[in-house]
A and B are shown apart, each in its own frame.
Chain A
Amino acid sequence: MGFISDKEITEEDVKHIANLAKIDLDEVEIKKFKKQFNDILDYFNKIDEAETEGVEPTYHGLNLKNVTREDEVKDELSQKEALENANESEDGFFKSPRVKE
């Protein structure tokens, strides 16, 4: 799929992004973000001009390799510590909003 660099972000796009990011938006915010996103992305699109043919992306801050640890149990929290900051807890469980099966 090709991308269209001049494509404007629509209100629908903003809603879709907000849904992916799980951030509730009201109508006013949708309009405001739409405008800002277009302004900002317009500026960001400058990188389109960079000549990156055959250039590998740098994913990591540092080129390290093979950092692993031994398979030894350590540093567990107690149940009390784990639950200390919970919104709500009961019987050792965190409570979460209802998930239907």
Chain B
Amino acid sequence: MDIVIGLEVHIQLQTNTKLFCGCSTNYRDSKPNKHTCPICLGLPGSLPKLNQKALEYGIKAGLALDCNIADSMQFHRKNYFYPDLPKGFQISQYDSPLATEGTVELSNGKKIEIRRIHLEEDPGRLEHPAGKKQSYVDYNRSGVPLLEIVTEPDMSSPQEARDFLRKIREIMEYLKIFDGGLEGSLRCDANISIEGGGRAEVKNISSYKGAEKALNYEITRQKNLMRRGKEVKRETRHFNEEQGITKPSREKEEEHDYRYFPEPDLPRVTISKEKIKEIEESLPELPDEKRDRFQKEYGLSQDQAESLTTSLFLADFYEEIACQIDPELTATWVADTLKGELSYRGINLKESNIEKEDLLFILRYLKEDEITEKGAIKVMRSTLDENKKPEKIIEEENLRSISLDEISEIAKRVIKENPEAIEDYRQGKEKAVNYLVGQVMKETNGRADPGETNKLIQKQLEEID
């Protein structure tokens, strides 16, 4: 049975101010209704004025997704009532959007067509405190610029949908117009149908993991209905992220009549070829391009290159170190070791204590045999957990590798102090060597190279004969 999925993705643009007024978009760290003005509160008499930056960001996104940028676009009013919508309409775009006809390539090589991209304003935020008779409204979010990206129904599995969202996030972050790490900065609605059934529109998906979950749930639900010979109705459903299920939306679709009409308070926006060219030339390297270049330039495997380009921050982190020291060694340490340690701690690189200079320092010591691999990992962990500089950790925990001469001295002493071990060795018990190596490691606090120590001890034991 063919599964058909299309997405409408909303991402918040990282402008300083809202789409149509001068209020700060920084609502997450702020008390309710602290970033509002007559415009985003919808006070009578106020008028919108378009944020130049938001327009530019929209064009950037359109170009990065290979869209045609409109030479002229118009805002429309989408009329509906809701307590979080202060004007009783949302300023959005309708038949004259910012960009159309783009593509995004998934990891599996499949191309997903973008139908359109447009700008619109975010509504306010509603809370429903338990035990209260009313809902609470915070209009700080009201008017934050959103970019809506609408795909063709080109995806055929929840995994593809998730991958698509991941790609969008990567690209938008590379453009520095979006921060996917912020809660609620990416939301989407998904249309999903199975051959022979009606299409469900699932609303209220707020992460790419959520998208996969919601779609998997829908597939099971729709298949179950079909198996029992029941009709899959065309309907709007609401995703509950906590429960991982979708429920029919209480609003009836036929009651919606958004009465779109051109926003009379906002003149048309024309976008010149020169402007498009200017923005196009300023576009940074995008994730796919970077991945290819990393493979070519630094000799990385596809997996490594892929892993190192999932975020611009990570890629920059890697590349800055790689330029100064062995790129392949760096790739292993960043893509495998560091990412593993971070994921164990459930944090991302940006949030962590480790700086580029820290890892560079560790890798330099490792490369020059000043610390052992084990020691390097230890330093990395302490940097992450204790927010100390590697240099200090090596000092404090005495992790610097020690020379063969020193090891030799310690080994001699250890052998001397353990005559029974010599006896065991003579009787052919190989374990005795391991015991002695262990003693040396203990004495050196793990700084001795175990292989070298083993060789040294065997040699010294032979010499005693």
Interface locus among A4-12, A27-35, A44-52, A82-90: A82-90
- Inter-chain CA distance A44–B392, complex, in Å, is 84
User: Smallest Cβ distance from B153 to chain A, in angstroms?
Assistant: 24
**Interface size for chain B: under 10, 10 to 19, 20 to 34, or 35 or more residues?**
35 or more
| CB-based nearest A residue for B35 | A76
Given A61-B264, A99-B135, does the pair A93, B269 have CB atoms closer than 8 Å? Answer: no
- Interface 0/1 of A61-88, CB less than 8 Å to B: 1111111111111111111001100001
| CB-based nearest B residue for A59 | B262
Query: In the complex, which residues 254-268 of chain B have their Cβ closer than 8 Å to any Cβ of chain A?
Result: 255, 257, 259, 261-262, 264, 266-268
Main secondary structure of the interface of B (DSSP, over half): loop
* Residue pair B267, A64 in contact (C-beta under 8 Å): yes
* Residue pair A92, B32 in contact (C-beta under 8 Å): yes
- Inter-chain CA distance A20–B254, complex, in Å, is 11
- Inter-chain CA distance A59–B124, complex, in Å, is 28
For B37, what are the chain A residues with a Cβ–Cβ distance below 8 Å?
Answer: 75-77
B234 on the A face (CB < 8 A): no
* Residue pair A68, B134 in contact (C-beta under 8 Å): no
User: Smallest Cβ distance from B12 to chain A, in angstroms?
Assistant: 14
Interface size on A, residues (CB 8 A): 39
* Residue pair A71, B83 in contact (C-beta under 8 Å): no
User: Smallest Cβ distance from A85 to chain B, in angstroms?
Assistant: 8
Given A60-B264, A60-B267, A65-B269, does the pair A76, B23 have CB atoms closer than 8 Å? Answer: yes
Query: In the complex, which residues 122-136 of chain B have their Cβ closer than 8 Å to any Cβ of chain A?
Result: 126-128, 133-136
User: Smallest Cβ distance from A66 to chain B, in angstroms?
Assistant: 6
Interface locus among B52-60, B100-108, B338-346, B449-457: B52-60
In the complex, 18 of the A-B residue pairs with CB atoms within 8 angstroms, ordered by the A residue number, are A59-B74, A63-B267, A65-B268, A66-B267, A67-B266, A68-B50, A69-B22, A69-B50, A71-B16, A76-B22, A76-B24, A91-B32, A94-B139, A95-B135, A96-B136, A98-B133, A98-B135, A101-B128
